[in-house]
Amino acid sequence: MKAVVQRVSKASVIIEREKVANINSGLLVLLGIVDDDTQEDIKWLSNKISNLRIFSDEDGIMNTSLLQTQGDAIVVSQFTLHASTKKGNRPSYLLAAKPDVAIPLYEAFVKQLETDLGKKVQTGQFGADMKVELLNDGPVTIIVDTKNKQ
């Protein structure tokens, strides 16, 4: 499971000209899933994202987490995070989990993040053509991969 975590001043997801998710200060999480991702990966990644100290404290130092700031989050499914660009110029998405595997894991991740944060997490729609708007704050962008836990 791989996530691109962006600290945002605001973010939204639009599907067919309808805004389906909208936050102010918080995190936009792009989430990619592979076939061998597990419930353990979900728990580890949710805990890591909830507790990443990437928000400024009163001294202007990145020392505060989303959990501490009580900011909001949007999670968007992103199969292209597992693109392979080894051969040629057309990415291969063979590593990305198919919907029958990915959807339950995606939904479980969102529920786990809601549990960890103690609040509702907004989402895009799995498999939809989404327009994601964001104002990256910092900019701060962190890539977290459950395959690199050590």
Domain map (residue ranges) of the chain: 2-148
Which pTM does this prediction carry?
0.95
pLDDT of 150 > 80? The answer is no
Tokens standing for residue 101: 């595997």
Catalytic, 80? Answer yes
38, 39, 68, 80: the catalytic one is: 80
6, 55, 78, 109: the catalytic one is: 78
Catalytic, 78? Answer yes
At the topology level of CATH, where does 2-148 sit? D-tyrosyl-trna(Tyr) Deacylase; Chain: A; (3.50.80)
In three-state secondary structure terms, 24 is coil
Say what percent of the chain tops pLDDT 90: 97
Q: H or E segment at 88? A: none
DSSP strands (E only) in 16-114: 18-23, 26-32, 55-56, 62-64, 72-77
134-146: average pLDDT = 97
- Segment 53-69, tens digit of pLDDT: 999 999 999 999 999 99
Local structure of residue 148 (DSSP, 8 states): G
pLDDT, position 149: 82
Q: Where are the alpha helices (DSSP H) in 19-98?
A: 39-51, 66-69
6, 79, 112, 122: the catalytic one is: 79
pLDDT-derived band of residue 72, with 50, 70 and 90 as boundaries?
A: very high
Name which of 127, 129, 117 is nearest 33 in CA terms: 127
Q: Where are the alpha helices (DSSP H) in the chain?
A: 39-51, 66-69, 99-117
Angle at 20 between CA 15 and CA 25, to 5 degrees: 120
